[in-house]
Amino acid sequence: MRHLETGLDRLLALRRAGTAAGHRRLAVLAGNPAWDRHVATALLNASAAERCLAIGEPGTLPIETLPHRQAAAHLGRETDILLYDAWAGFDPDAFGAVTGTVRAGGLAVILTPPLDVWSARADPAANRIAIAGFGPHEIGNRLIGRFLRCLRRDPAAWIWPEASVPPTVTAGPATPPVVPVDDPDCLTCDQARAAALIEAVGGATGEATAVLTADRGRGKSAALGIAAGRIMRRGPCRLVATAPRYGAAAAIFEHAGRVCGDARREAMALRLDGAELEYTAPDTLIGRGQTADLLLVDEAAGIPAPMLESLLRQFPRVVFATTIHGYEGTGRGFAIRFSETLGRLRPDWRALHLEAPIRWRRGDPVERFVGDALLLDAEPDPANAVADSNVAETAYRQLDRDRLADDEPGLRSVFGLLVNAHYRTTPTDLRNLLDGPTTGVHALLWNGHVVAAALTVDEGGFDAALSAAVWLGWRRPHGHLLPQSLTFHGGDPGAAGLRCRRVMRIAVHPACRRRGLGRQLLRHLVAETRSAGMDWLGTSFGATPDLLDFWRNAGFRVLRLGHRREAASGAHAAMMVHPVSPAGRGVASTLADQLSGDLGVLLSGPLRDLETALRRRLPDPRDNAPTASERDWLRAYGFAHGARPLGSDLPALHRVCRGFGWKETVVSDTLARHCLVDLEALDDAVMGLGLEGRKAGEAMLREAVARRLAQADDAPASAGRRYRHMTALAGTVRDAAGYRRTRDGLITAATDNA
């Protein structure tokens, strides 16, 4: 193979240059898959690297190769050579994650198709943003096109196209001098300052709060552990660590154990002579109402805001730490929004930002490239540039995504604004913005600056057969959140047939809030949705009093409230719509009336713990109807014989089943009376009756309701006929292989002979 020996020599020279500078280096092998993988294999054999990691299609490289979805399994580990095989797809989240594992002196090697054709290929990893009814060719390629431009303009990127002479190795960026650290446990001055601040919070006699922020790889988790270990060495104390998952807090225990030395290690705990450090999940901490001498919250941006506020109220001394610009999801929105909560509850809170990296030296070219290519450091326009904006002087634009992808300042402004307004944003969100098949990017501009922005996605438009299958719980087409939820959980088959434009994100520049810009942007979106021939503009979000007020004041109606708190937001999901067609208004009125009629049962059952402030913003519950409606009976048939959800159909089941004569001698009847008539939680009823678990209990409920429906003399014949008709319709697409759009634009399940 031509030039192989020269190429390997230069790859090894690239690694030596990185080692000398304390940096990582980026290399690209651009050719056919066999050539890319042959060179990568030769590099592994020639380098004698101790720790190597490959991401791609398993079995294509001589070392264990992990698929994209397993990239997170290597978080916290260190790598000398990373092979990222883009022939298996380019997943921006996985790429951002694994490049962070490469340590100083290491190589991040990307295996790509020839660069001039890469962006023209359908990317296998783009299925994460696919929408049922739209083919792979309808997903854009702007993210990869932009990635290529970032590669070509990066002077430190070493790119070797197949059949070309390998490039020479250029010197990397200058390395700033290392500042000596006067702390034997810490690797940087920033880390030493962070550890001292944490110790000060832990030693306070009253309330004390600190927030540590850093880009990835700055040693903030290690600082939490170092400080915890020092506090434990001083004497008996109780320290608690929490994070979105234990893995995110593991470094705390590792470094605390190193500082303590003789501490006894247990599963998710560390103990030393009456001092203890334990990990407890955030929801468990709040549920138990416990306290401690010091609470350490790592990756706080990954914990829902209501939980963080509860922890702040519950613990007198708290240190929050989070990544600001990182592959897992930026914490920039957290830093802005949570500072408002801190200012209200702990006005004397202290902040510290860690700048110096730990695994590599400042100016690392791989960190710079990844941050640029994935827009991890995107920020909105400067506050002073938009401080005088007003709604009367704004202009609305739906942005052309081809132009936006080429407009680096404009893209950074829009994405930076969306990042700031939300707690978690990942590189896949950038891909969806640029390449989603029905994504729309909308902005209000003032003097050329983006002062408000929104992302929308078009959903719904299912044909009758697919709508029936969704209502029955037999099909779940990917990417149609609002139509599916209002059909399956809301119980209205007509909702899936409507064409919906959903607002995924909306953001107003932090320097321009409370000037009516958000409402103005929504007015434009409503008008545009109407002119596009859609049926309604909708949204789904974690419900808070302020957000419900915002959307309601913009003319939106609540049609559904989730019965459980969502993991991402810690809140109940609210679904609201603004109808723009007669069909949309009809279905919205039906669902709003149904919610009002169902709320009495829901607030006595799954929503019994809903906050008073949220209850006040919901429709007034109507008195429970004395008799079940035909719609109630239809939902009961769907629950008994289909896969419809117990929680969503509970009000209808309550109205249908409370008149049945349940037999106490039959276990399934007893369970049905407890759950469907007395509204006891299924888990509690199952435990009380000594049954095997929730799944078995729900199956028993379906059997009991089906038996009673078969015996019911007062069941309306029309409900049974409609149920049989819907079942027959849905049966035609139940086993379909995929989805397609018909000539008139409806989405249907694609049968084998379609």
**Ordered DSSP codes for 561-612:** EEEEE-TTTSSEEEEEEEE-SHHHHHHHHHHHHHHHHHHHHHHHTTTTT--H
* CA–CA distance, 438 with 634 (Å, rounded to integer): 33
Q: How confident is the model over 116-135, as a mean pLDDT?
A: 94
Q: Please, what is the average pLDDT of the chain?
A: 92
Q: How confident is the model over 116-140, as a mean pLDDT?
A: 94
Query: Could you write out the DSSP letters of every residue in 145-204?
Result: HHHHHHHHH-TT-EEEETTSPPPPPPP-PPPPPPPP-S-TT-SSHHHHHHHHHHHHHHT-
Which sequence spans correspond to the domains of the chain? 4-161, 189-354, 383-615, 630-715
Confidence at 61, pLDDT banded by 50, 70, 90 = very high
Q: How confident is the model over 208-236, as a mean pLDDT?
A: 95
φ, ψ for residue 595 (rounded to 5)? -60, -45
3-state secondary structure of 616: coil
Confidence at 753, pLDDT banded by 50, 70, 90 = very low
* Contact predicate 618/603, CB 8 Å: no
* CA–CA distance, 746 with 65 (Å, rounded to integer): 41
Give pLDDT, residue 622: 80
Q: Which CATH class is domain 189-354?
A: alpha beta
Work out whether strand 317-323 and strand 350-354 pair parallel, antiparallel, or are unpaired.
unpaired
Work out the number of other CB atoms within 10 angstroms of the CB of residue 22: 20
Give pLDDT, residue 332: 64
Residue 134 clears pLDDT 60, i.e. is over it? yes
3-state secondary structure of 214: strand
Q: What share of the chain has pLDDT > 70, as a percent?
A: 97
* CA–CA distance, 294 with 589 (Å, rounded to integer): 51
Best mean pLDDT range from 31-40, 178-187, 336-345, 681-690: 31-40
* Contact predicate 632/655, CB 8 Å: yes
Query: Could you write out the DSSP letters of every residue in 44-108?
Result: HHHH--S-EEEESSTTSSSS-EE-GGGGGGGTT--EEEEEEEGGG---HHHHHHHHTTEEEEEEE
φ, ψ for residue 731 (rounded to 5)? -60, -25
* CA–CA distance, 194 with 197 (Å, rounded to integer): 5
Query: Could you write out the DSSP letters of every residue in 525-573?
Result: HHHHHHHTT-SEEEEEEE--HHHHHHHHHTT-EEEEEEEEE-TTTSSEE
Better-scored residue on pLDDT, 627 or 707: 707
**Amino acid of residue 682:** L
Tokens 């609540």 sit at which residue? 558
3-state secondary structure of 344: helix
Give pLDDT, residue 754: 42
Q: How confident is the model over 474-491, as a mean pLDDT?
A: 95
Give pLDDT, residue 247: 82
pTM more than 0.75: yes
DSSP 8-state assignment for residue 260:
H
3-state secondary structure of 675: helix
* CA–CA distance, 687 with 691 (Å, rounded to integer): 6
Confidence at 295, pLDDT banded by 50, 70, 90 = very high
Tokens 């022939």 sit at which residue? 87
Sign of CA dihedral 719, 722, 723, 724: positive
Residue 604 clears pLDDT 80, i.e. is over it? yes
Asked if the domains at 4-161 and 383-615 fall in one CATH topology, the answer is no
Range scoring the smallest mean pLDDT among 342-346, 426-430, 714-718: 714-718
Give pLDDT, residue 471: 96
3-state secondary structure of 456: strand
Residue 632 clears pLDDT 50, i.e. is over it? yes
The reply to whether CATH 3.40.50.11040 applies to domain 4-161 is yes
| pLDDT tens-digit map of 423-456 | 678 899 999 999 999 999 999 999 999 999 999 9
Range scoring the smallest mean pLDDT among 68-82, 183-197, 460-474: 68-82
| pLDDT tens-digit map of 521-533 | 999 999 999 999 9
Residue 637 clears pLDDT 90, i.e. is over it? yes
Confidence at 616, pLDDT banded by 50, 70, 90 = very high
Range scoring the smallest mean pLDDT among 308-312, 420-424, 470-474: 420-424
Q: Which CATH superfamily is domain 383-615 in?
A: Gcn5-related N-acetyltransferase (GNAT) (3.40.630.30)
Q: How confident is the model over 407-423, as a mean pLDDT?
A: 90
